[in-house]
């Protein structure tokens, strides 16, 4: 019999039991439920609702339950519908009558919300930390190939040469915004719902601010109905993961391209490639494909929860139990992607020669050549047209742009533009992909990393 079935004339049907039990997945919250319960016991003692021996007894039982979970000896009771009722049932078995006082001035509604906020707070910290490691892996990959460059693309057509470090830093800056977002969300969710009761608070003289402080929350809830009924903090966490996932998906797609024979800019290390069951020569970039593939799942978890929330009247509704699986799934999966992708970048073999040869496609110099003419006072639109005509001439005759420039009156002085790396060195504007500008960005990146590490 569940905690509340005793009042009912007939037991719950198995079909409803199977539908509504959540122990099978919410046992992941056990440590957070225990943390919340400890704070609640201390709050009850402080309010004079438990005497010291009673409080000590309950705290001892909560420790015992923790040890049972840690040692994998905790046994679920046949009618424990979720982790919260399971722990209360076990505590009562261990301490007898005083166990009945544990749930004074508490509902599962504020209890669940408290445990879930504690879980999400830790999860966001862990994801931010793993994201920071990926940022460092990207920087290290760039540092390992100083001066290396590759074509930068627009519309996946070669556009202008860019430094490899600049290219990888672009991903790093996006990830740093993700980290910022994770930590902002962590701050917003850091409000204790404990003491909100089922929905309206309680007539018992507890002090939510006291338990909030014990649990390391920045404040206690302001409104009991809001405290038990909103899962905006879960939706926000899922969004943070979804966007981080989208960023990693783009990185994954890029690695798939780079490691294809067609691009051949890089090879994934043996530790980060898989073989094919049928084609012995294959080296597959599954790590990159899964980084791309998991993002669909993260987006699904977010949109699913938003759909769950949108029609709910105040305050608690059982629909809210559907918040947990998407959250647990996104958290565990994004940590897997972050770790594997960092390893893949740390062991990536970048083919400097191949990438440089592609970036020295004379056509890639066209924009810089036009800018060179601008330096001589030619209005940009005219310079653009002039170089466009030269490029068309080269294409029509099937010769290189360099050869056309070489034979064109007045342009020979610009032939040096076609020297290896020459255009890159000229890219000096702030934030640009030239060596000096890139060094400035690296310094900014390092400051942002220190700042994020400080906030962690």
Q: Give me the residues that bind ligand ARG (CB under 6 A), please.
A: 22, 26, 82, 108-109, 112, 316, 318, 320-321
Q: How many other CB atoms are there within 10 angstroms of residue 46's CB atom?
A: 16
Supply φ then ψ for residue 431, to 5 degrees: 80, 0
Find the Cα–Cα–Cα–Cα dihedral 119, 120, 121, 127, rounded to 10°. 110
Is residue 347 within 8 A of residue 319, CB to CB? The reply is no
C-alpha span between 305 and 120 (Å, rounded): 15
Six-digit token string for 70: 């840690």
C-alpha span between 244 and 263 (Å, rounded): 26
Residue 3 or 209: the one with the smaller Cβ distance to ligand ARG is 3
Is residue 152 within 8 A of residue 160, CB to CB? The reply is yes
C-alpha span between 340 and 342 (Å, rounded): 5
C-alpha span between 350 and 144 (Å, rounded): 9
What number of helices (H) and strands (E) belong to the chain? 18, 6
User: Among residues 69, 64, 291, which one has the least CA distance to residue 175?
Assistant: 291
Respond yes or no: is residue 155 known to be catalytic.
Answer: yes
With 0-12 CB in 10 A as exposed, 13-18 as middle and 19+ as buried, what is 281? Answer: exposed
Locus of tokens 């460059």: 149
Is residue 195 within 8 A of residue 201, CB to CB? The reply is yes
Locus of tokens 């780079």: 258
β-pair partners for 191: 219
Supply φ then ψ for residue 150, to 5 degrees: -150, 170
Exactly one of 155, 203, 277, 429 is catalytic; name it.
155
C-alpha span between 101 and 41 (Å, rounded): 9
Question: Hey, is 151 helix, strand or coil?
Answer: strand
CA 33, chain centre distance (Å): 24
Question: Hey, is 129 helix, strand or coil?
Answer: helix
Six-digit token string for 4: 């509340």
C-alpha span between 107 and 3 (Å, rounded): 12
Cβ at position 229, least distance to ligand ARG in Å = 11
* Positions marked active-site: 155, 276
């Amino acid at each position: 019999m569940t905690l509340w079935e005793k009042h009912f004339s007939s037991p719950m049907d198995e079909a409803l039991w199977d539908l509504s039990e959540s122990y099978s997945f919410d046992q992941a919250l056990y440590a957070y439920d225990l943390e919340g319960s400890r704070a609640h016991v201390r709050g009850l003692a402080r309010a004079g609702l438990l005497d010291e021996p009673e409080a000590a007894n309950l705290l001892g039982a909560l420790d015992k339950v923790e040890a049972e979970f840690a040692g994998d000896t905790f046994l679920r009771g046949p009618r424990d519908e979720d982790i919260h009722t399971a722990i209360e049932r076990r505590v009562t078995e261990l301490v007898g009558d005083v166990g009945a006082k544990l749930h004074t001035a508490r509902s599962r509604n504020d209890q669940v919300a408290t445990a879930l906020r504690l879980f999400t707070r830790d999860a966001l910290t862990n994801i931010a930390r793993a994201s920071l490691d990926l940022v460092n892996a990207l920087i290290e990959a760039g540092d390992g190939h100083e001066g290396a460059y590759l074509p930068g693309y627009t519309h996946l057509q070669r556009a202008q040469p860019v430094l490899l470090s600049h290219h990888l830093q672009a991903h790093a800056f996006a990830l740093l915004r993700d980290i910022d977002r994770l930590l902002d969300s962590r701050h917003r969710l850091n409000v204790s719902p404990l003491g909100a009761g089922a929905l309206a608070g309680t007539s018992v003289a507890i002090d939510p601010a006291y338990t909030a402080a014990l649990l390391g929350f920045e404040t206690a809830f302001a409104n009991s109905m809001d405290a038990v009924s909103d899962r905006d903090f879960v939706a926000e966490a899922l969004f943070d993961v979804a966007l981080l996932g989208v960023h990693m998906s783009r990185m994954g797609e890029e690695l798939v391209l780079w490691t294809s024979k067609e691009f051949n800019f890089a090879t994934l290390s043996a530790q980060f490639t898989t073989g094919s069951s049928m084609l012995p020569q294959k080296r597959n970039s599954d790590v990159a494909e899964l980084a791309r593939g998991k993002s669909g799942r993260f987006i699904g978890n977010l949109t699913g929860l938003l759909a769950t929330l949108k029609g709910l009247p105040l305050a608690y509704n059982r629909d809210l139990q559907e918040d947990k699986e998407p959250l647990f799934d996104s958290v565990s999966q994004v940590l897997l992607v972050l770790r594997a992708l960092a390893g893949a970048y740390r062991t990536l073999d970048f083919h400097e020669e191949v990438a440089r040869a592609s970036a020295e496609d004379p056509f890639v110099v066209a924009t810089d050549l036009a800018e060179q003419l601008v330096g001589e006072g030619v209005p940009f639109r005219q310079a653009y047209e002039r170089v466009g005509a030269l490029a068309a001439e080269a294409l029509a005759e099937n010769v290189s742009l360099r050869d056309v420039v070489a034979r064109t009156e007045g342009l020979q002085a610009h032939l040096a533009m076609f020297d290896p790396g020459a255009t890159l060195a000229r890219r000096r504007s702030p934030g640009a992909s030239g060596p000096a500008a890139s060094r400035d960005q690296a310094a900014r990146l390092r400051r942002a990393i220190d700042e994020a590490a400080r906030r962690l």
